[in-house]
Amino acid sequence: MPKSSKVWVVDDDQSIRWVLERALSQAGIESECFSNGDRLLRRLDNEQPDVVISDIRMPGTDGLELLERLTASHPRLPVIITTAHSDLDSAVASYQQGAFEYLPKPFDIDEVIAVTERALAHTREHLAPADDREDLRPGTEIIGEAPAMQEVFRAIGRLAHSNITVLINGESGTGKELVARALHRHSPRASQPFIALNMAAIPRDLMESELFGHEKGAFTGATARREGRFEQANGGTLFLDEIGDMPPETQTRLLRVLADGEFYRVGGHTPVRVNVRIIAATHQDLEERVSQGDFREDLFHRLNVIRIHLPRLAERREDIPKLMEFFFARAARELGGETKVLLPETERFLAELDWPGNVRQLENTCRWITVMASGREVHVSDLPPELGRREATAPTGEGTDWRDLLSHWAHNELVQGKQHILRAAVPAFERTLIEVALQHTQGRKRDAAELLGWGRNTLTRKMKELAM
């Protein structure tokens, strides 16, 4: 049986040392605390712990430096890195330098104990972690302190050395492409191309040529030979977004390429060999699509090697303020003007919304506010009307001219890059007036037409057009 195990804890914050020491002792694990990395290193000359838990930021030798020295001198010693500054970079850096685990603060004590016990078991089995370190690459700008996002960061960190196929799941606008790019940037293929392709955006009959390219004369309009995305991504990563929308015949071809590592261009007879890492994403329930016969099961299993789930924004509301701060800074840079800041009540109001468009909707809202709000501080009344801010302003609606609301709406549509906005606005405008007139006349169309200033036939025709 193993001798009594010892965990060394390094943190410059005395209260954290106290909390950890107490929690470990309650779990029956012996520990010893150090206020900085240098002390621990000195002690290491004549003694050795079974596990080290170290903070990442400390005066003197910081967590990453300590980790580097420990992995060099004691490659089998598991080091758990903790950090209050939870960001993707520290997670990835920890794993790249060989950390056993990464724990963002404030931590869940049960999790700390569970991880420590795993690390102790690891030491007992004498399994050395892989020690092929890579340089840390610069910021990836994924904001996420919520536990679910920390899981995502850990997954990216753990996958940093691999070329494995990954399937990313999550609603539209949750950051799937961003995560795919981070996976690529932290992979051995980082210096090679990253090619993104959205299956939902490509017409079905062009999909195969888009993916695999075509030879000259392969079909009408194929006036020259064209490289497909697979060839462009050779050596790098191909990100297949909305994979659930891939038509069955393309699924079959994709499966073959994944199995054989080669394909034929459309109209071609010579096989083309490629080495491409696939990262796929979908907002759909692919298992469900498989069970309905809409997605090939064998392809699903090939893609579903590692799965990363991105939660809806409403499931990580605690990240909303940080995300907004980040998007305000970006919007000010891109669109000009000052960086907006939220007043506390505005922040509270925004943190409670549902955000069906997820992070993308939040980002667009920040752009909108940057252009539209007059002061630097953002009041609830400065928010776009479709966020339902009315309840939060004067309940009577007094002082809110509908033309202001309409103009807010139109600005918002244009900021989002929409076109032909009259097509959406005019029917909505007519529908609203018709509904109100009908309410006033208890549904009598003849009278409602009168109130609107139309003939009865015009009203009937309009209602039909508007499917009312």
Residues that bind ligand ATP (CB under 6 A): 141-144, 170, 172-178, 241, 283, 323, 326, 359-360, 363
Q: What is the DSSP letter of 197?
A: E
Whole-number Å distance between alpha carbons of 198 and 177: 10
Closer residue to ligand ATP (CB): 20 or 320: 320
Closer residue to ligand ATP (CB): 144 or 157: 144
Closer residue to ligand ATP (CB): 142 or 290: 142
Q: Report the residue number whose CB is nearest to ligand ATP.
A: 175
CB of 93 to ligand ATP, least distance (A): 18
Whole-number Å distance between alpha carbons of 438 and 340: 43
Strands 262-263 and 272-273, by their bridges, are antiparallel
Closer residue to ligand ATP (CB): 181 or 277: 181
Considering just the CA atoms, what is the radius of gyration of the chain in Å? 29
Closer residue to ligand ATP (CB): 96 or 282: 282
* Strands of 79-83's sheet in order across: 30-34, 6-10, 51-55, 79-83, 101-104
CB of 138 to ligand ATP, least distance (A): 15
Query: What are the CA-CA distances from residue 53 to residues 49, 73, 87 (Å)?
Result: 10, 16, 18
Helix (H, G, I), strand (E, B) or coil at 25: helix
Apex 128 CA angle, 122 and 129, nearest 5 = 95
Closer residue to ligand ATP (CB): 127 or 201: 201
Position 81, amino acid: I
CB of 221 to ligand ATP, least distance (A): 28
CB of 283 to ligand ATP, least distance (A): 6
Whole-number Å distance between alpha carbons of 273 and 79: 41
Closer residue to ligand ATP (CB): 226 or 360: 360
CB of 196 to ligand ATP, least distance (A): 9
Give backbone dihedrals phi and psi of 136, rounded to 5 degrees, phi first: -80, 135
Let me know: does 64 contact 96? Beta carbons within 8 Å.
no
CB of 261 to ligand ATP, least distance (A): 27
CB of 64 to ligand ATP, least distance (A): 23
